């Protein structure tokens, strides 16, 4: 959820332990989301817990004086029509993308396929992070970018950080209501991999996290 790339080699033990705690909290939250029988209620829990973490956790991406610590993050209303069990096709599998991220060097993303969205809504490339222990990664950019959402795009899945909505051996659960801004939207000290061309949608995804309406 936080996607804290750019965590430099000079970080202290306490900083690294705090980041481990952040990731643990995120993984626990997404486990609760997957276990919830009602996606909309799970989404409410996700929003509330994110606000708690962003407001008070030592690894919050928000600067100490950011008003979002007090007001909470902004979201579009939940839209059940934007939750899909998307089949994953092997298109483009094996393609490599290398993304410079400052202190972490280069993030290597290996494409494993493409998730098809229904009703002519396009598709999203599914990437595998070759750093860490690996993990699925789905960034995207849509027609709200630069208007009501962060101009560089949002994230949907980052399983290396615990942001995982589930799936099967051939599908992924993609719920666009759980789209969130990367850490670099809040503070330029974070450097985050952003959406490549294969992850750009030509329609307005009015779901998930949005820019502060104030």
pLDDT in tens, 17-47: 998 999 999 999 999 999 999 999 999 999 9
- Is the distance from CB of 29 to CB of 180 less than 8 angstroms? no
* Phi, psi (deg, nearest 5) at residue 201: -100, 145
Q: Is 37 exposed, middle or buried (0-12, 13-18, 19+ CB in 10 A)?
A: exposed
3-state SS, residue 22:
helix
Question: Please, which pLDDT band fits residue 4 given cuts at 50, 70 and 90?
Answer: very low
Per the DSSP assignment, residues forming a β-bridge with 137 are: 127, 158
Give percent above pLDDT 90 in the chain.
Answer: 80
Counting other chains too, the contacts that 48-51 makes at CB distance below 8 Å and 24 or more residues apart are: 49/25, 50/1, 50/180
Specify the higher pLDDT residue, 193 or 60.
60
- Is the distance from CB of 91 to CB of 112 less than 8 angstroms? no
- Residue 194's pLDDT is 86
- Is the distance from CB of 126 to CB of 109 less than 8 angstroms? no
Q: Which two tokens stand for residue 5?
A: 């790339």
Question: Please, which pLDDT band fits residue 202 given cuts at 50, 70 and 90?
Answer: very high
Q: Give the C-alpha separation, 46 to 174, whole Å.
A: 15
With CA atoms as reference, report the closest residue to 99 among 113, 109, 84: 109
Model pTM above 0.85: yes
Specify the higher pLDDT residue, 7 or 27.
27
- Is the distance from CB of 212 to CB of 152 less than 8 angstroms? no
Q: Is the pLDDT assigned to residue 117 strictly greater than 90? A: yes
Q: Among all chains, which residue has been given the structure tokens 């942001």?
A: 163
* Dihedral sign, Cα of residue 60, residue 211, residue 204, residue 75: positive
Q: Is the pLDDT assigned to residue 8 strictly greater than 80? A: no
Q: Is the pLDDT assigned to residue 10 strictly greater than 70? A: no
């Amino acid at each position: 959820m936080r996607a804290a790339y750019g965590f430099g080699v000079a970080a202290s033990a306490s900083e690294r332990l705090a980041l481990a705690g952040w990731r643990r909290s995120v993984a626990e939250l997404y486990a609760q989301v997957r276990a919830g029988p009602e996606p909309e209620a799970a989404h409410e829990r996700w929003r509330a817990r994110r606000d708690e973490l962003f407001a008070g956790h030592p690894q919050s991406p928000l600067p100490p004086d950011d008003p979002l610590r007090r007001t909470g993050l902004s979201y579009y209303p939940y839209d059940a029509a934007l939750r899909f069990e998307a089949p994953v096709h092997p298109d483009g599998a094996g393609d490599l993308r290398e993304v410079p991220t400052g202190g972490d060097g280069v993030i290597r993303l290996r494409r494993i396929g493409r998730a098809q969205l229904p009703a002519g809504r396009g598709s999203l490339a599914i990437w595998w992070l070759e750093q860490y222990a690996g993990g699925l990664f789905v960034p995207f950019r849509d027609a709200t970018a630069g208007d009501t959402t962060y101009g560089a795009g949002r994230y949907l899945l980052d399983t290396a950080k615990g942001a995982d909505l589930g799936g099967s051996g051939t599908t992924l659960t993609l719920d666009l209501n759980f789209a969130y801004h990367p850490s670099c939207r809040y503070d330029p000290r974070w450097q985050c991999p952003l959406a490549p061309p294969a992850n750009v949608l030509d329609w307005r995804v009015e779901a998930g996290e949005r820019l502060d309406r104030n």
